[in-house]
Amino acid sequence: MVGAPRKGSADATQVEDHLDELRRLADTAGAVVVGKTHQRVEAPTPTFYLGQGKVEELKGVLQDTRSTLVLFDEPLSPVQGSNLEKALAVRVMDRTELILDIFATRARSAEAKMQVELAQLEYLLPRLTRMWTHLSRIRGGIGLRGPGETQLETDRRVIRRKIAVLKRRLEGVADHRANQRQGRRDLPGAALVGYTNAGKSSILRALSGADIFVEDRLFATLDTLTREIDVGGGYRFRVADTVGFIRKLPHELVAAFRATLEELTEADVLVHVVDASHPALEEHMAAVDSLLRELEVADRPTVLALNKIDRLDEAQAGAVLAGRRAAVALSAATGEGVETLLDAVEKALPISGAVTLRIPHGDGAALALCYERGRVLARADQPGHVTLEVELPGPALAAVAGYRVERVLD
């Protein structure tokens, strides 16, 4: 594995963290990492990205370890990739190509497979000459899964045609999703977003009780899952789990997965799930926030969920929570804080229009609920009951629905 951060762009800890993430990506793809190195550069060289001396050093390391693959944490141009492969005499992949390969192996639904294939073909097109050389020698393996195995004879014209076909099909998928949403019951919705492996699927499983696949690996799931949550009192809302984000996420994937990520545009509330135990949580949060802005959904009401809090001691947890009073600390694994998160999401969901309630004096809990959870617009104290005009969130309104009457306050 090779890192090449710009001078002054990252400290030693960040460089190690980035390479560790690359190692985990390699593990997810099925590679065995035997070594890592990095070189700080003023600017990438047009020929190799790295300096000539570092390339020679790499060549010696590869011969000693008998490695067959070099992974770069930085994006390589087609020329840089081709030159490095000629100089090192092994397969060279950058971070983008590795992530695309992982997506190719993890895609399950027809939609996800189309999205990954589109992203792979758009990545392949400017690199066609280099990829042809390898595809003629090697079948399968990391970086060559998905459309690569069946596109040996393709040329640019055929790939462009295939890209156009996939884009049309994905437009049809987007239209189908829009029709599905129109046909759904009119329920409010929340969407789980966050860095890959932050625990979004685990939280959806904890909230819904559904049997949902969970794995402690990067990009364990790609397909969007939606479940209805019943919080009692006749009130339900939807929660959608979306594909995980990652820093330096390939633009090809952001574009290809727009149809899936449209769930975010439909959500009333975003639940930003963060791995509270990760040393780079601030950087992870910044990467997610940046992608949300790119997707134009950063203005949605957001609940910050600090997951995996069970992995921290009291002092560490206090440091993570400092300055984040509105955040919810939880552990999807142990169940700690899950009810608190559910309550926070309920409170963030849309408020009802003004309703009129006639609450008996004996039900002080219902009266307190209206003041605690809603916005009281008017009140009239009458014999035996109190009449309120109040705006309430859905769950609270469901709890006092039996006291609802036609408007009587002026």
Identify the CA nearest to 370 among candidates 353, 392, 394, 401: 392
Based on its alpha-carbon atoms, the radius of gyration of the chain, rounded to whole angstroms, reads: 26
Domain membership of residue 397 (yes or no) is yes
Assigned domain for 391 exists = yes
Give the tens place of pLDDT for each residue, 207-249: 888 777 677 667 766 667 788 887 765 567 889 888 788 888 7
In a domain, 119, yes or no: yes
Residue located via tokens 């280099």 = 130
Q: Given this model, what pLDDT does residue 147 score?
A: 53
| pLDDT for residue 328 | 95
Q: Is residue 164 part of a domain?
A: yes
Residue with tokens 């490095």: 84
Are 111 and 135 in the same domain? yes
CATH code of the domain in which 340 resides: 3.40.50.300
Residues 190 and 296 in one domain: yes
- The verdict on 282 and 385 lying in the same domain is no
Q: Domain for residue 69, yes or no?
A: yes
Range of the domain at 376: 355-405
Confidence of residue 107 (pLDDT cuts 50, 70, 90): confident
* Residue 8, phi then psi, degrees to nearest 5: 85, 0
Least confident span in 45-59, 232-246, 359-373? 232-246
Task: Please write down the long-range contacts of 78-81, taking CB distance under 8 Å and 24 or more positions apart.
Answer: 78/126, 78/127, 78/129, 78/130, 79/46, 79/47, 80/44, 80/46, 80/47, 80/48, 80/49, 81/127, 81/130
Pick the residue with more confidence: 76 or 110?
Answer: 76
Q: Please, what is the average pLDDT of the chain?
A: 82
Starting at the earlier edge strand, list the strands of the sheet with 375-382: 375-382, 385-391, 355-360, 404-405
Name which residue leads in pLDDT, 229 or 329: 329
pLDDT at 407: 61
pLDDT digits (tens, 9 = 90+) for 140-197: 455 545 554 444 455 677 888 888 998 888 888 777 766 766 655 567 789 999 998 8
Is residue 140 domain-shared with residue 195, that is, in the same domain?
no
20 and 141 fall within a common domain: no
Integer Cα distance of 307 and 304 in angstroms: 9
pLDDT of residue 233: 56
Judge if 299 and 360 occupy the same domain. Answer: no
Lowest mean pLDDT, pick from 57-71, 129-143, 325-339: 129-143
What average pLDDT does the segment 288-295 reach? 87
285 found inside a domain? yes
At 46, the pLDDT band (50, 70, 90 cuts) reads very high
> Residues 143, 223: one domain?
no
pLDDT, one tens digit per residue, over 58-97 is 999 998 999 999 999 988 988 999 899 999 999 999 998 8
* Domains in the chain, number: 4
Q: Which of 348, 364, 390 is the last residue of a domain?
A: 348
Does position 137 have pLDDT exceeding 50, yes or no? no
Structure-token pair, residue 373: 């959870």
Task: Please choose, from the candidates 114, 71, 107, 109, the residue with its C-alpha nearest in 3D space to the C-alpha of residue 92.
Answer: 71
Residue type, 371: Y
Spatial distance between the Cα atoms of 220 and 225, rounded to a whole number of angstroms: 13
Span 364-370, average pLDDT: 90
As a whole-number percent, the residues of the chain with pLDDT over 70 amount to 83
Q: What is the mean pLDDT of residues 100-109?
A: 80
Nearest to 85 by CA among 122, 47, 123: 47
Residue 179 is assigned to a structural domain of this protein = no
Give the C-alpha separation, 77 to 19, whole Å: 20
Give every strand in the sheet of 91-94, ordered side by side. Answer: 37-38, 2-3, 69-72, 91-94
Query: pLDDT value at position 150?
Result: 47
Residues 53 and 144 in one domain: no
pLDDT digits over 297-322, tens only?
Answer: 888 889 999 999 999 999 999 999 98
Tell me which residue of 152, 160, 176, 84 sits closest to 118, measured CA to CA: 160
Most confident of 77-81, 252-256, 350-354: 77-81
At a CB cut-off of 8 Å and minimum separation 6, what does 163 contact?
118, 121, 122, 125
Which residues, in sequence order, are CB contacts of 307 under 8 Å at separation 6+? 198, 199, 202, 203, 273, 274, 275, 276, 330, 331, 332
pLDDT score of 131? 52
**Quick one: pLDDT at residue 243?**
79
Residue 134 confidence (pLDDT): 43
Nearest CA to 189 out of 233, 125, 236 is that of 236
Partnered with residue 238 across adjacent β-strands are 189, 228
On whether both 339 and 390 belong to a single domain, the answer is no
Residue 174 lies in a domain: no
Band of pLDDT at residue 5, cut at 50, 70 and 90: confident
Neighbouring residues of 310: CB distance < 8 A, sequence distance ≥ 6: 331, 333, 334, 336
Contact indicator for 196, 245 with CB cutoff of 8 Å: yes
Looking at the structure, tell me whether residues 322 and 365 fall in a common domain. no
Q: State the average pLDDT over residues 115-128.
A: 81
Which CATH number is 8's domain given? 3.40.50.11060
Question: Is 302 found in the same domain as 243?
Answer: yes
Both 262 and 342 in a single domain? yes
